[in-house]
A and B are shown apart, each in its own frame.
Chain A
Amino acid sequence: MTLAAAPPSSPRDFGNDASWAVLLLGLGVYASAFASPYGLRVLTLAGCQALLVLGYQFIFGHAGALSLAQGAFFGLGAYTTAILSTRYHWGFEATFSLSILMPLALAAGVALPVLRLASHYFALATLGLAQMALLLVVNAGDWTGGALGLTGVPGIAILGTAVPRGLPLAITVWGAVTLGAWLSRRLTHGLTGTAYAVLRSDTLAASAIGLAQTQLRFSAFLLSAGFAGAAGALQAHTVGVVSSETLEFSVMVTCLAMTVIGGSTRIVGALLGALLLTYLPEWLRLLQGFALLAYGAALLAMIILAPEGLAGVLGRARAHRRQDAVLPLSAPVALRGSRSATLEARGLTKRFGGVLALDRVDLVIEPGEILGLIGPNGSGKTTLANVISGLVAPDDGAMRLGSRGLRGLGAERIARAGIARGFQTPALPPSLSALELVALTRASAGQRIGFLPALLGRDTGDERRRFEAEAADLLGRVGLSSAAVRPCGTLPPGLAWRVEVARALALDPMLIILDEPAVGLGEREQAELGATLREIAGCGIALLVIEHNLPFLLPTAHRIVVLDQGRVIAKGKPAEIVHDPAAIAAYLGRERLPA
């Protein structure tokens, strides 16, 4: 597939561009030409912090989860280096590798209980982990030197060649920072970075595009632990002493402050935050006792006034120049593939407390069929949609898509199995454009989202352009072209449904579920929606449409199912349903007769 058009340059790309490389270069010039020995030491320590913060950005910035264990991973790395080098006289290569591996292993070990947790559960579970680590270190005095710690950690020696303190050490540490920054850019500047933006802003939207959320969080957590271990090891070599202070909460809070103040997703932000908060206390000697007080105040001010941090503030001016994105030429997507199958649900039952929301519902949707689902409010329509799309687990019953059983699969896996979902309140990340969202969905359906594909460069460059071209094609089919580059948050309802349908199509689905798509649409838009749905069905895709608007639904649907109090009370062709006594009594009557 060849494409002539240039890719749209999105404003959110900014900040992960090369401004961090310029900053690093400037530091290099300062270090080699102007810095005093003391200045070099401070610079080296700032480098350790920069590496710590770069790692923390993965879990806190990109995955959006407040981990309070980053300080513990840092301490674990420092202690690993200190214990192995002072007690067993291991070489740098071995101690450094193990200092990264130990936190990785700990993170992987606790990930199972911890990563399933959301919000404050995650924050406090990681805080508990950090507190346990501190207790362990202070009380395992034989190994760790107790509260006093371990002294005499040797300097770095690479392949037997000692790296002297001063400039060489500073260069080594900042070399590691550069490597870390490069890795971070590689992993987050493609569509995987965009996937994290969706993940942290709206988990429902993330499951709708089939993102493997747990895996994404897991890899972010592991990476932050690995970076923290490396940072701890380098700091141990730089300072020569490791004590339990390394594990105290103030290290964690300082890391958090650096990340928030610098900017939580941009590489240049990590460097700025680490440099600023390392140097400020040095510069403002008078403030000595107040340093942490000032951190606290600055942290509060930044989170309120500039949530994107210094990098965001500095970047905003330049980002404006990039707003005029263009839609790429489209590459046609084959909607009718080898994938088409019948959805069969048998005996679906769901209770909420004492209420029977679904009562042994049987449902069959054939390929190419539009099935309308109607019923009074509270009859279980949305619950049925949630059960089929995996957002809610049924208490009983079985579901199959073709020959594949769906029972027990989560929402993301059901989405990737071929059941796409639109929502009553469109689940569109407000800051992403429709083009980005649909391209991301194509990449997600093609298994190109995650740190491994990103490391291999498979979510960026030509590959990304291909996904964007396919997205342009899908958006064109639903009648959204010029507005496709606008942020989804600015789209009126008449356009929002088009994005929802295009996103659904991007999953290469066998079944699309839509929940009241016609709400808020004028007559002309309803007609367009109906025509679009018919066209999609014509490609062999099945549709399940929940709708109250009968003048829209009756001519659009091939068959109608009527739900009442969680039970199917009538089904048939639209012309039969309007005469069905049960349907009239439960639902249609209310629509027809004056109250």
Chain B
Amino acid sequence: MITTLQLTLNGLALGAAYALVALGFVLVLNATGAVNFAQGDLVMAGGYAAAALAPLMPVPGLALLPIVIAAMALLGLAVSALAFFPLMRRPATAVFVSTIAIGLVLQNAALTLFGPEPRTAPPVWGSEPLRWGGLTLSHQAIAVISVATLLVSGQGWLLARTRLGRNLRATAQDREMAAALGIPVRAMIALSFALAAALAGAAGALLVNQFFVTPTAGSALILKAYIAVVIGGWGSLAGAVAGALLVGLFETVVAAAVSYTAASALLYASLLLILLLRPQGLFGETAGRRA
């Protein structure tokens, strides 16, 4: 019973971090029609940013988070300037390749700067586990869940309630129409990249204490975030979050019951299965073309 609860909590914490990655994924995909293959590596970069800042500033992880988020947003802008804007008029595949290149650069920059050994950073706050009755709940899991919830709802509020959010959504729906309405489309796209990188960086900073970070840690994340998005549907943020929580729970439970390998293999198999059964996903991008 207690282990089940702890396991659920850990699964939800992992899922919450995935949700941050998946949200960034959807943001960029909707804004540009292209997948940012560096999204996983941006998580890794966020982890390293936290790990590098920690020795300089002896504060809890929570205090580092705003700095990491700001730095990552800048990195996101750089990614859009290097890997998206020069290729705006080219097939989406060109952007896939350019973001893979960015990922490669990030991975090897991390390898050169930090070496191959896993790095970690202080927990978000306090390291003492929380005892409540017979339960021992890790602080970290609760901290990750609450911070992620905060960021996800902030994201939802931004998109649904603000003028900026409306402009972002208009750009995602129809770039030409948005431009005709006077929305600064390029700025909105750059902002989508910045937000996506900030969310990915936050996920990295949240995960780094429990899972450590290595230069190649991001590679597996991209698929998991993608699976979350495929499960949840492309349009809705809530769907992506639900999908991410499901993936996190599934992975944690199966890893505890069988093995981590089995969990990953089953996830990848389910991706192929979902794509087989719902080939056009829930996005329907095969329909029509932009004149």
Contacts and interface: CB of A to CB of B under 8 A. Distances in A.
Interface stretch (A121-129, A270-278, A372-380, A478-486): A121-129
A550 interface: no
A66 B96 contact: yes
A120 interface: yes
A296 B108 contact: yes
Given A253-B100, A295-B104, A299-B100, A289 B111 contact: yes
Contact of B96 (A120, A289, A290, A292): A120
B272 A128 contact: yes
Contacts, number: 122
A124 B271 contact: yes
Interface in B88-138: 90-94, 96-98, 100-105, 107-109, 111-112
Interface in A101-121: 110, 112-114, 116-121
Contacts of A120: 29, 34-35, 92, 96
A260 interface: yes
A280 to B, nearest CB: 15
Nearest to A427: B289
Nearest to B259: A139
Contact of B112 (A65, A256, A293): A293
B98 A303 contact: yes
A128 B276 contact: no
A239 interface: no
Contact of A113 (B101, B272, B281, B285): B272
Interface string A262-299: 00000000000000000000000000011011011101
Interface string B209-232: 000000010011011001000000
A296 B34 CA distance: 19
B101 A66 contact: no
Interface stretch (A130-138, A157-165, A518-526): A130-138
A260 B97 contact: yes
Contacts of A300: 82-83, 98, 101-102, 105
A292 B107 contact: yes
A65 B271 contact: no
A300 B38 CA distance: 13
B279 A124 contact: no
A302 to B, nearest CB: 9
Contacts of A292: 104, 107-108
Contacts of A117: 275, 279
Nearest to B92: A119
A204 interface: yes
A118 B286 contact: yes
A425 interface: yes
A350 to B, nearest CB: 12
Interface residues of A, number: 47
Given A290-B112, A293-B109, A119 B97 contact: no
B285 to A, nearest CB: 7
B35 A124 contact: yes
A340 B29 CA distance: 47
A135 B100 contact: no
Interface string B60-96: 0000000000000000000000110011001111101
Instruction: Output the residue of B100, B102, B219, B220 with the most chain A CB within 10 A.
Output: B100
A296 B105 contact: yes
Contacts of A118: 285-286
If over half of A's interface residues share one DSSP class (helix, strand or loop), that class is named, otherwise mixed; here it is: helix
A304 interface: yes
A91 interface: no
Interface stretch (B1-9, B150-158, B260-268): B260-268
Contact of A425 (B82, B83, B281, B291): B291
Contacts of B261: 135, 138-139
Given A135-B264, A289-B112, A293-B112, A307 B90 contact: yes
Given A116-B279, A136-B265, A299-B104, A128 B223 contact: yes
B255 interface: no
B269 interface: yes
A295 B97 CA distance: 12
Contacts of B93: 64-66, 119, 123
B103 to A, nearest CB: 8
Contact of A121 (B82, B102, B107, B275): B275
A249 interface: yes
A131 B112 contact: no
A120 B269 CA distance: 17
Nearest to B289: A204
A131 B97 contact: no
Contacts of B268: 128-129, 131-132, 135
Given A120-B96, A290-B108, A297 B289 contact: no
A200 interface: yes
Interface of A: 64-66, 110, 112-114, 116-121, 123-125, 127-129, 131-132, 135-136, 138-139, 200-201, 204, 249, 253, 256-257, 260, 289-290, 292-293, 295-297, 299-300, 303-304, 307, 424-425
22 contacts: A64-B93, A112-B276, A113-B272, A113-B276, A117-B275, A120-B29, A120-B92, A120-B96, A123-B35, A124-B222, A127-B222, A128-B271, A132-B265, A200-B91, A249-B216, A256-B97, A257-B101, A293-B104, A296-B105, A297-B105, A303-B98, A307-B90
Identify the 4 closest CB pairs spanning chains A and B, nearest first: A296-B104, A113-B276, A293-B108, A296-B105
